[in-house]
A and B are shown apart, each in its own frame.
Chain A
């Protein structure tokens, strides 16, 4: 299934991202103000953990050729749930966090059920739950209620340092290693790739496609709940609009990281590089004297430019290789069906 040429293209994309990342760091370190300071590196990590977590679980889903548009809204719903359980139900924050993860599990399970049992397209299902979850979050708080005044022990998860790193970096690292091993080093995870290439083919090959798809969406729900915890702990406030637009930021990072939006191709390492490239760019722009006052807008523009360039640079050698293949042999290689 996985031919060596394709593998090499993957490697190539990641190398490209590493080069981009190094250039970004060099550029901002020399041109920006106080960029390479421990405090600022902490900022970069803290500010990208939630989007990074969502990107990590979005990656296997996109790898199967699916998509989950509901994770940002689910983050909002989970943040509100956490606030409700802690303040209104009077649970300790640890229990409230556990309850929130259960809500994420159930919400992800709902997505999974609709997608696998009813065979509805993930785009449609999660577009629906995108509205549903945000709507529920707003209904629970009537749009205005905000939960605040959380205990110090909880806020530590979002603002504290542990063993020299921001507290939430440890959670992020754990999830990243777990998903990386799962996707690349288990037959289970590797079957995502097969499903993304050709779901019917995978089914005939004996892969329990539905069950595996379902797990990817459930996992997205659980991790979105974890992201809502670090988000609330970092921000100190849980409100229904938490995580607005995060699903698109996560998808952007995954695609920038080299995962094909049609499925079948991608790597967790690439996704991590994609997250890092965007995070460094966004932060760096706010430290260039010339772009300080327009960093918010420019980071959007440059992320877009970076995405298009990375995709273009990724496709160019592939297109030329395909052209050469066609010329050298009469037999055209079978194209993966999107």
Chain B
């Protein structure tokens, strides 16, 4: 009968499609050797899972590059997965899948501190080693946090850079996200401490919030330029404020006269750095962050890194200090005209 024929045909199409889609990627995947290795499920290779806050974010893509380098050097299988859309439960679902998949260690950048901790604790209960990087979970849900930058490191680097650019005396203003943000207040405390200690004649004349908006930062910077004609430098300590301030300085025709520095992503500021408006952008090397996260996760899994350790030797990157349960990535990195083209995040 024709009817049953079509019935059969539709099923055959679906079957072919499914097998096709299922097999397709495994043939041309980059991790082809991993496929043959783990197919049996009894490979002795360690499997480390790395989770970004979101997968498309250039910042985490760059972390992943470092992570892949570490995985290659260490001879471990790396799984990199995270949410692609803003679904807060997705991180938990992926971790729960990793638990049953049987990974040896998880390194996670946490979007929702409390939410993800439930899943991470479950992983620990199953004997999986857990570390966090970039943004922490609750302390009991992981062994170590790979801390990319301490408030002291950020504050000192910003102030030292300001002092280097302006000289021993002058005026500078800070643009922050909000006057109540805890992390920024912490940075400011260290900026001020460093200023008192090393540049007592550099005056901070204003502190303005920009609500984490580039437009508002630009407006604030324009106001500052008018209100303080002797201003030498604008220090932007939230990422939208760096290009915002640079645009204001550029439009006021004060490029070079009023320096701009700040905490931000190289990609957002490349144009201004190359035009000579922004002098330095301060952040950490995200590749190193990914490298260290995977390296430390592997260290925990094979026992070379134990709770209570005071330092950790991470392959090509050398030795890292551990304070409490924070593994410190070290001093922030300064992106300027000479090196900014080497970074694409």
Interface residues of A (CB under 8 A from B): 8, 12, 15-16, 19-20, 23-24, 27, 31, 33-34, 37, 39-40, 43, 46-47, 146, 148-149, 155, 159, 231, 234-237, 239, 241-242, 244-245, 283, 286-298, 300, 302, 305-306, 309-310, 312-314, 316-317, 320-321, 324
For the complex formed, measure the closest distance between the CB of A287 and the CB atoms of chain B, giving whole angstroms: 6
Among B97-105, B210-218, B242-250, the stretch in contact with A = B97-105
18 pairs of residues in contact across A and B, judged by CB atoms under 8 Å? A16-B11, A23-B15, A23-B19, A148-B114, A234-B92, A236-B117, A241-B86, A242-B88, A286-B81, A288-B26, A293-B79, A293-B81, A294-B25, A295-B81, A317-B7, A317-B9, A320-B6, A321-B3
- Closest-by-CB residue of A relative to B84 is A296
Pair A235/B84 contact, Cβ less than 8 Å: no
Closest 7 A/B residue pairs (Cβ): A290-B26, A313-B10, A317-B6, A237-B115, A290-B29, A148-B114, A40-B100
Q: Which residue of A lies closest to B49 (CB)?
A: A292
Q: Are B97 and A235 in contact (CB under 8 A)?
A: no
Chain A residues, CB < 8 A from B9: 316-317
Interchain CB contact under 8 A, B7 and A296: no
**What chain B residues lie within 8 Å of A43 (beta carbons)?**
93, 96-97, 100
Chain A nearest CB, measured from B312 CB (Å): 25
Q: Please determine whether A296 and B118 come into contact, CB atoms closer than 8 angstroms.
A: no
B116 to chain A, nearest CB (A): 9
A300, B85: Cα distance in complex, Å: 11
Does B99 lie within 8 Å of A39, measured CB to CB? yes
Minimal beta-carbon separation of B199 from chain A (angstroms): 36
- The binding surface of chain B is classed by DSSP as helix
User: Are the C-beta atoms of A316 and B96 separated by less than 8 Å?
Assistant: no
A283 to B117, CA, bound (A): 21
Tally chain B residues at the interface, Cβ within 8 Å. 57
Other A-B contacts than A16-B14, A310-B14, A321-B3, 17 sampled, CB-CB below 8 A, are A16-B10, A19-B11, A23-B14, A24-B18, A31-B22, A33-B38, A34-B41, A43-B97, A146-B114, A244-B87, A244-B88, A286-B101, A289-B77, A290-B27, A293-B78, A297-B84, A298-B25
Which among B21, B25, B115 is the interface contact of A148 at CB below 8 angstroms? B115
Query: Are A296 and B94 closer than 8 Å at their CB atoms?
Result: yes
Contact partners of B82 in chain A: CB under 8 A: 296
Distance to closest chain B CB from A153 (angstroms)? 15
Contacts of B27 in A (CB 8 A): 290
B121 to chain A, nearest CB (A): 10
Q: CB distance A290 to B34 under 8 Å? A: yes
* B90 / chain A contacts, CB cutoff of 8 Å: 296
Residues of B at the A interface (CB closer than 8 Å) are 2-3, 6-7, 9-11, 13-15, 17-19, 21-22, 25-27, 29, 31-32, 34-35, 37-39, 41, 55, 77-90, 92-94, 96-102, 112, 114-115, 117-118
Q: Which one of B22, B39, B96 contacts A47 once the chains associate, using CB atoms below 8 Å?
A: B96
Which residues on B sit within 8 Å (CB–CB) of A309? Answer: 13-14, 17
- B55: nearest residue on chain A (CB-CB)? A296
Q: What A residues does B14 contact at CB under 8 A?
A: 16, 19-20, 23, 309-310, 313
Report B-chain residues with C-beta under 8 Å of the C-beta of A321. 3
Bound together, the chains give a CA A293 to CA B11 distance in angstroms of 30
| Also in contact, A293 and B80, with CB within 8 A (given A15-B7, A283-B97) | yes
Residues of A within 8 A of B78 (CB): 293
Contact in complex: A316, B29 (CB < 8 Å): no
B117 — which chain A residues lie within 8 A by C-beta? 236
Identify the closest chain A residue to B28 (Cβ). A290
Cross-chain contact of B35 among A24, A231, A286, A290 (Cβ < 8 A):
A290
Which residues of A are found within 8 Å of B39, using beta-carbon distances?
31, 33, 289
For A148, list chain B residues within 8 Å (CB): 114-115
B96 touches A235 (CB 8 A): no
Asked if A234 and B3 make an inter-chain contact with CB atoms under 8 angstroms apart, the answer reads: no
Question: Are A235's CB and B115's CB within 8 A?
Answer: yes
B135 nearest CB across to chain A (Å): 14
A33 close to B79 (CB less than 8 A): no
Alpha-carbon distance between A47 and B89 when the two chains are bound, in angstroms? 9
A230 to chain B, nearest CB (A): 11
Chain B: minimal CB distance from A37 (Å): 6
Contacts A16-B10, A309-B14 given; does A34 touch B118 at CB 8 Å: no
| CB-contact partner of A305 in B17, B92, B114, under 8 A | B17
Most buried by B among A15, A289, A321: A289
Least CB distance, A78 to chain B, in whole angstroms:
15
A226 to chain B minimum Cβ distance, whole angstroms, is: 16
Q: Within 8 Å CB of B115, what residues of A?
A: 146, 148, 235-237, 239
Contacts of B99 in A (CB 8 A): 39
On chain A, the residues within 8 Å of B87 by CB distance are 241, 244-245
Report the minimal beta-carbon distance from B292 to chain A, rounded to whole angstroms. Answer: 19
Whole-angstrom CA separation of A148 from B82 in the bound complex: 22
- Whether the Cβ atoms of B10 and A317 lie closer than 8 Å is yes
* A302: B residues at CB distance < 8 A: 21
Contact between chains at A290 and B25 (CB < 8 Å): yes
Cβ-defined partner of A34 (8 Å) among B3, B18, B92, B102: B102
Give Cα A159–Cα B121 distance, bound, in whole angstroms.
Answer: 13
A237 touches B114 (CB 8 A): yes
A235 and B80 contacting across the interface, CB-CB below 8 Å: no
| Chain A residue at smallest Cβ distance from B10 | A313
> How many whole Å from A311's CB to the nearest CB in chain B?
11
> Which of A12, A24, A231 has the most B CB atoms < 10 Å from its CB?
A12
